[in-house]
Structure 1
Amino acid sequence: MEFSREALIKSVSAQMPAKRWKHTLGVMETAVKLARKYGGDPERAEKAAILHDVAKYWPVERQREIITQNHLSPELLTYDKQLWHAEVGAFVAQTEYGIEDREVLDAIRYHTSGREGMTLIDKIVCLADYIEPGRDFPGVDRIRKLSKSSLEEGLIAGFDSTISLLLEKRKIVFPLTVMARNDLVRVLEENE
């Protein structure tokens, strides 16, 4: 059985530090605004935003165990652990919180990486995670500005920022992020 909004908030907020919950509140608020602006469903966007970081502060070994035992995405285990919580979060949203809406689950699953063929809710939650009011990193103001006129332009700038940072730090870039970015560029080119 699916949790009520209030029960979700109570349960999820208890699983993270106050600072991360403040971030989640910002993502919720931003996702609702983006949904209203771009024709998405504000309730579904908010639900995905509430749950997007539910597993973020779980021990890495617990996340690894969930991925392994449930045959989620074993290739994730060869990439940065910061990506794991999204896949685990989608699994937990379904199994522990009763979320059955595939698009809500996918928005949780792909909020860190993006994917090719992103749905409207995928774009909203991913972009909200980048630009919520508490975010402060080089380039965030540009991403916020671009997001006022285009979800796709905002996301491309966000992915470019992430990829650039990973390249500067000589880190491995998750292929799905590159594919998501390239797909959004193609979509914009086709619509010109």
Structure 2
Amino acid sequence: MNKQQALSLVKPHLTETRYLHTERVVETALALAARFHVDPEKAMLASAFHDYCKYRSLDEMRQLIEDSDQLPLHLLDFHHELWHGPVASILVETELGIKDRAIQSAIYWHTTGHANMTDLEKIVYLADYIEPGRVIPGIEHVRRVANYDLDQAVFLACKNSIGFLVSKSRKVYPETLNLYNDLVGTI
């Protein structure tokens, strides 16, 4: 599947604003993949479909999480914004035929991250965070670091995300803390 085919498949599932975000994430992921020697086709597909389920009904996502033996039930204990990645990782296979586990995993973890991420997972996580349309405190520094150090850029994005959640007195997903702890000793 080429980039235009992937984007045309995801477009009906997104708002216009989210679709434009997705186009920018794809371009950012492709640039990162080239910079850090990651398979560009996998980076393109994972980034194109990272928000595939962003606008599914909460009831549908909740039901899929409850019924799936592939998704942890504790997802339901966290903000519903975390649900769309794991749900999409399953539905891209059943609805679109994308069976590549590396692509599915990058979609699954694009919001939370986890310890010992693959470079593909890091690229989709980071591309979603630094795409040019994002306006987030500290993002310019993360974008600069992403030009030369994938791990440090992911660490900074994770650190900023945790800081934001803590400032809003919101729960932090345990795997996000695991990502932070995994990288803090290497940066």
Residues 49-103 of structure 1: per-residue CA shift (max 9 Å, x gap): 0100000011111110111122322110001111000000101111111111111
Cα drift, residue 4 of structure 1: 5.6
After TM superposition, where is structure 1 displaced by more than 6 Å over at least 4 residues in a row? none
Give distance in 2, aligned partners of 1:64 and 1:96: 18
1:91 aligns with 2:90: yes
Letter in 1 for 2:168: K
Query: How does the TM-score come out when normalised to structure 1?
Result: 0.93
* Aligned-partner Cα distance in 1 for 2:4–2:24: 16
Q: Is 1:128 the counterpart of 2:139 in the alignment?
A: no
CA distance in 1, matches of 2:40, 2:118: 14
Q: RMSD over aligned Cα, in angstroms? A: 1.2
Pick one of 36, 39, 46 that aligns with 1:38.
Answer: 36
Structure 2 residues without counterparts, runs of 5 or longer:
none
Amino acid at match of 2:44: E
Unaligned runs of at least 5 residues, structure 1: none
Amino acid at match of 1:20: R
Q: Any residues of structure 2 matched to 1:1-192 within 5 Å, and which?
A: 5-71=3-69, 72-186=71-185, 188=186
1:47 CA drift (Å): 0.3
SS state at 1:14 partner? helix
**Contact 1:8 1:97 (8 Å CA) reproduced:** no
Give, in angstroms, the shift of residue 37 of structure 1.
0.3
Aligned-residue sequence identity (percent) comes to 36
The separation in 2 between residues aligned to 1:151 and 1:27, in whole angstroms, is: 16
